[in-house]
Amino acid sequence: MIQPPEAKMRPVDFVKWLATFIQLVGYGLTGLNYTPWNIYFFFAGIVLWFAVGAMWKDRAIMVVHLGAFVSLLIGYLGSAGT
């Protein structure tokens, strides 16, 4: 009889779902116009998704989230004076 794989969540799965939840909260906060909290959640989600890319050794995920981090940081710092 073939046994199913264990249903244990791996660390990367936990980080992936946590990052997804945090990003969704960021989108919700954006829709409700809760700034700068939305940006803080986006930064946290981006960092966690970058970590997932590193755990998977997936450079595409790492590059897209590095680009998102830099873009968000430039926008955030640029808006700090207004």
Q: Which of 23, 62, 65, 33 is nearest to 73 (CA)?
A: 65
Cβ 79 vs Cβ 35: under 8 Å: no
CA 38 to chain centre: 12
pTM of the model: 0.86
Give pLDDT tens digits for 21-66.
999 999 999 999 999 999 999 999 999 999 999 999 999 999 999 9
Q: Which of 24, 61, 65, 64 is nearest to 47 (CA)?
A: 65
Give pLDDT tens digits for 55-65.
999 999 999 99
